[in-house]
Structure 1
């Protein structure tokens, strides 16, 4: 097991704060896959900046994926066309941003294919984000569930989808900031589509 590193959750299009914390411990990071899946977290949702303020994109999961299902076993539901809704949401929110067209061909395939498991989907998206942000980080998963990690910084519950983090976040240009001002800790795609290659320097 890695020492003096961190254990992190696996999120869908994670918030900026996730990458800030990851940067402090990389490359000594492992990702949790054995925990019982917690509801209403960034594991299956992301916040973006819409013309009306914060818009939450939620990946629906198969019913029965409650607290007693391991994260690695949670299946994505395709009962309705959520991928089309997410992709249209991203286009509506970021088509006017400086770099959306630069990156859209990288993201578009994720809103067409239908992977079975949420963890696989999130991990593939995270690998893409690492590549686009030029972050050298291997994705390693936990082998067993541990209630605590004496030799690791346990960040599994360090991110709340309900509360804005206390971490200092320097403002950067956002497409709709004239409406609501600067919104902290949105999905990393907000930073990427607005700042492009400069996003890694921001982090």
Structure 2
């Protein structure tokens, strides 16, 4: 069992790991944590690394809540803002237009739970990469497993990733930025994305 946290348009490292496993299990019984890729992704904007954050609702009585029970805060127009940010950053990229219509469905759909956003994001990417869309969800929190990739969801974990640079939209201004959202790689490399992912080495 290869264990992953379902994240929002996961970083490249997560899909490099997913591509190398046959059995994806999503941990859904964990406690929601801030400062993770559960509700954020990073893209390459005109000014460099840009964070897209999904606002989540906080209960009146603050306490632990499971990721699967985390509610999206829809009073804030995050979907339209995120999609506009993607269009602004990538409209001139080689493959954005190819994926734009399918991608827009996620930003036009109303979501109650964060988990549903992340599952739809994963299904979009799996289809784009033409990899298996099958996965299972945990029924209880997994203490440990042999193939534990949950740390890939921690934004500030500092996972080392060795990958060959690819052309990015604004690398002439800010240089190559590693391990952005899988969307960055997908929009720039299209059908060559899996080849780039297969060459990546992860160091935990």
TM-score surpassing 0.5? yes
Aligned residue pairs: how many?
A: 196
The CA distance in 2 between the partners of 1:156 and 1:67, in whole Å, is 22
The CA distance in 2 between the partners of 1:76 and 1:159, in whole Å, is 18
State the Cα distance separating 1:163 from its structure 2 match.
Answer: 5.0
Residue 167 of structure 1 aligns to a residue in which SS?
Answer: strand
- Please, what TM-score do these two structures have when normalized by structure 2? 0.91
The CA distance in 2 between the partners of 1:189 and 1:198, in whole Å, is 13
- Please, what TM-score do these two structures have when normalized by structure 1? 0.91
The CA distance in 2 between the partners of 1:104 and 1:70, in whole Å, is 32
Report the equivalent of 2:37.
42
Aligned alpha-carbon RMSD (Å): 1.5
Give the counterpart of 1:63 among 58, 61, 77.
58
CA contact (8 A) 1:38 1:67 kept: no
CA contact (8 A) 1:99 1:194 kept: yes
Report the equivalent of 1:105.
101
Describe the shift of the 1:139–1:197 C-alpha distance in structure 2 as closer, same or farther (beyond 3 A).
same
Do structure 1's residue 92 and structure 2's residue 88 form an aligned pair?
yes
State the Cα distance separating 1:99 from its structure 2 match.
Answer: 0.6
State the Cα distance separating 1:29 from its structure 2 match.
Answer: 2.1
1:26-63 deviations in Å (ceiling 9; x for gaps): 22221100011111100000000001000000011111
Report the equivalent of 2:149.
155
State the Cα distance separating 1:154 from its structure 2 match.
Answer: 1.7
Report the equivalent of 1:188.
182
